[in-house]
Structure 1
Amino acid sequence: MTDRYEYVPHRLLRRRVRDIASGAEGVLMAVINEDVSDSVHQHWIELAYIRAASGREFTTAVGNVEPAE
């Protein structure tokens, strides 16, 4: 695959979520499977992009995302 990332469907897209690692909340805007490989090792990670109330987006591991109450 030549693409460095691909969008992944997620049940919480466009819903309010919490990053359990930081406690920050926002709207889940995208989940992306991103290629972070180097010249020797191939490695992909899934990142969640969350937009906070300020409008700034931050990333976290998809496993850290839970619905906000």
Structure 2
Amino acid sequence: MSEQYEYVPHRLLRHRVRDIASGVEGELMAVVNENVSESGVEHWKELAYIRNASGREFTTAVANVVPT
């Protein structure tokens, strides 16, 4: 099995964004192509890491990220 994650460039890195799934706003800290495999079958997913106003980071699908 290959690496568990790899960083992906994104035009909104370090910019204010909103997660359309939750409505939470924050700063886009990273986009990661992450291996979320189960049962030995490789499955990769691009996740956005957003830091909200309290300083906590959460993940969402990259497709859910829009600029504010």
TM-score (normalised: structure 2): 0.94
Q: How many Å separate the matches in 1 of 2:37 and 2:53?
A: 32
Q: Show CA shifts across 1:19-55 (max 9, x none).
A: 0000000000000000011234210000000000100
- Is 1:55 paired with 2:55? yes
Tell me the secondary structure at the aligned position of residue 13 of structure 2.
coil
Structure 2: any 5+ residue segments left out of the alignment?
none
Q: Which amino acid aligns with 1:47?
A: L
Tell me the secondary structure at the aligned position of residue 11 of structure 1.
coil
How high is the sequence identity, in percent, across the aligned residues? 75
Matches within 5 A, 1:1-69: 2-68=2-68
Tell me the secondary structure at the aligned position of residue 63 of structure 2.
helix
Displacement of 1:7: 0.1
User: Which deviates further from its counterpart, 37-46 or 59-68?
Assistant: 37-46
TM-score (normalised: structure 1): 0.92
Provide runs of 4+ in structure 1 moved above 4 Å.
none
